[in-house]
């Protein structure tokens, strides 16, 4: 059965742009204290074992979870594993000088104005999904204004504890995992997210993020690219802003979020997932 795609309707140019959007979204990092927060981050990065180094108290970074609906209602788990979010927030405070709020926040695509108060948003699921036209428009507008989405694939139950090699090349091609015709499973959410982003930006498709990209070395160093917990090892993919090359959204298919939960893969691999999650945040905050 053919899969429907979100209707693409060109939007008017954002009246405020990325700079105005971030200014309006001062709740995220305490407004004018943003520069001081970044200075604190990097002072801690180079502080070695200096126990006198103190956390910079500026504003609070919020880590919102995006609420949405998947096609299989039995697996409507947009809010799965909240402990993973909590652990990442805690580790962000421990390993950097970012003053992350411990409070969970939920945003929805139907409410663009609330999303605009939290320009960094995380989403995950196990299964296939589509967006209503208004939701698709709001997602595009959010990204065009300067918002950022980290979309991580929570490995589908059919592929739990498995590790598959990628069947993608350098150019994204949608694979209908639900039909079972492709002989591989484990990246259903990732496939649909990239498909939807491509439908919203038809002249600027998602691309695989090169292993030497700065997102892998902006805080912790990952010389081999994105860590991979389970599912399909495609590497990370992203939407690159035309003209600047800035990543507007990042899709990770290897179930980093399950690594954040720190119960499945062992301490070393779990920490790799946590560090990569921090790198994605640091990349956004510094770009």
Q: What is the mean pLDDT of the chain?
A: 82
How confident is the model at residue 17, as a pLDDT? 52
How confident is the model at residue 25, as a pLDDT? 46
Name which residue leads in pLDDT, 76 or 15: 76
Phi and psi torsions of 76, nearest 5°: -80, 75
Name which residue leads in pLDDT, 209 or 28: 209
Residue 182: is its pLDDT beyond 90? no
Selection from 171, 133, 126 nearest residue 152 by Cα:
126
In angstroms, the CA 35 to CA 37 distance is 5
Q: Mean of the pLDDT values across residues 239-258? A: 97
Where is average pLDDT lowest: 23-27, 92-96, 120-124? 23-27
Query: Which residue matches tokens 């788990």?
Result: 77
Q: What percent of the chain has pLDDT over 70?
A: 78
Query: Which residue matches tokens 């510094």?
Result: 286
Residue 47: is its pLDDT beyond 50? no
pLDDT band at 46 (very low <50, low <70, confident <90, very high): very low
How confident is the model at residue 74, as a pLDDT? 59
Residue 40: is its pLDDT beyond 60? no
Strands (E), 126-201: 148-153, 163-165
Selection from 205, 66, 79 nearest residue 142 by Cα:
66
- Domains, the chain: 19-46+58-160+172-285 (3.40.50.12140)
Output helix, strand, coil percentages for the chain, rounded to the nearest 5. Answer: 35, 15, 50
Residue partners of 183: CB distance under 8 A and separation at least 6: none
In angstroms, the CA 92 to CA 44 distance is 12
Question: Looking at the DSSP assignment, which residues form a beta bridge with residue 249?
Answer: 149, 239
Buried-state track 215-240, b at ≥16 Cβ within 10 A, e below 16: bbebbbebeebbbbbbbbbbbbbbbb
Residue 50: is its pLDDT beyond 80? no
Buried-state track 19-35, b at ≥16 Cβ within 10 A, e below 16: eebbeebeebbbeebbe
Q: What percent of the chain has pLDDT over 90?
A: 62
Residue 38: is its pLDDT beyond 50? no
Q: What is the pTM of this model?
A: 0.82
Residue 54: is its pLDDT beyond 50? no
How confident is the model at residue 53, as a pLDDT? 43
Name which residue leads in pLDDT, 16 or 274: 274
Residue 72: is its pLDDT beyond 70? no
């Amino acid at each position: 059965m053919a899969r429907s795609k979100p209707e693409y309707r060109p939007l008017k140019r954002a009246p405020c742009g990325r700079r105005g959007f971030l200014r309006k979204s001062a709740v995220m990092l305490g407004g004018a204290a943003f520069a001081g927060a970044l200075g604190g981050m990097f002072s801690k990065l180079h502080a070695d074992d200096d126990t006198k180094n103190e956390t910079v108290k500026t504003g609070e970074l919020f880590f919102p979870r995006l609420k949405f609906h998947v096609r299989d209602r039995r697996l409507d788990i947009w809010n799965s594993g909240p402990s993973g979010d909590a652990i990442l927030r805690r580790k962000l405070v421990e390993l950097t000088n970012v003053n992350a709020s411990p409070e969970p926040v939920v945003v929805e695509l139907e409410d663009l104005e609330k999303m605009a108060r939290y320009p960094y948003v995380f989403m995950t699921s196990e299964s296939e999904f589509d967006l209503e036209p208004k939701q698709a428009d709001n997602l595009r507008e959010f990204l065009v204004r300067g918002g950022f989405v980290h979309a991580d694939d929570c490995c589908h139950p059919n592929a739990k504890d498995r590790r598959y090699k990628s069947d993608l090349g350098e150019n994204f091609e949608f694979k209908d995992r639900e039909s079972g015709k492709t002989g591989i499973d484990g990246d259903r959410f990732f496939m649909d997210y990239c498909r939807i982003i491509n439908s919203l930006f038809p002249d600027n498709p998602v691309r695989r993020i090169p292993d030497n990209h700065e997102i892998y070395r902006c805080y912790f160093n990952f010389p081999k690219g994105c860590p991979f917990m389970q599912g399909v090892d495609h590497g990370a993919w992203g939407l690159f802003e035309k003209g600047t090359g800035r990543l507007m959204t990042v899709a990770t298919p290897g179930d980093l979020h399950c690594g954040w939960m720190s119960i499945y893969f062992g301490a070393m691999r779990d920490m790799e997932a946590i560090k990569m999650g921090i790198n994605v945040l640091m990349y956004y905050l510094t770009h």
